[in-house]
Amino acid sequence: MQDKASASLRRRRKALLRQLPPLEAVLRGSLIERYKRCGKPGCKCAKGPGHGPKYYLSVSRTGARPQMDYVPQDYQAQVTAYLDNYRRIREILDELCAINRELLHRREAF
């Protein structure tokens, strides 16, 4: 029974590796949507939510302030896809590590 379970873990691991997004299409961070007021008297933004949406990529680093980069509207969909790829890769890596840990726990070849 243990052999079937281990074989199942290895099959799951191979399936996960096939699901990895392309590594060149990865971006870490968060996409932030902002609306800004221009300050011109009489502009519609003074009473409304502001001009926008404007998108910014926020990337945090340990011990440093988050960096914000403007994302032009034309790139918003691509940046969102790259951020989703990063999250998916992290999920897959977590599951791969759990599988490898279980195989190690069983004292079986990876």
How do residues 8-19 score in pLDDT, each as one tens digit?
Answer: 999 999 999 999
80 touches 29 (CB < 8 A):
no
Q: Which of 3-7, 67-71, 83-87, 96-100 has the lowest mean pLDDT?
A: 3-7
Query: Which residues have a Cβ under 8 Å from the Cβ of 10 and sit 6 or more positions away?
Result: 99, 103
What are the residue boundaries of the structural domains of the chain, listed by start? Answer: 2-105
1 vs 72, higher pLDDT: 72
Give the number of other CB atoms < 10 A from CB of residue 25.
13
Summarised one tens digit per residue, pLDDT across range 3-48 is: 889 999 999 999 999 999 999 999 999 999 999 988 888 888 888 8
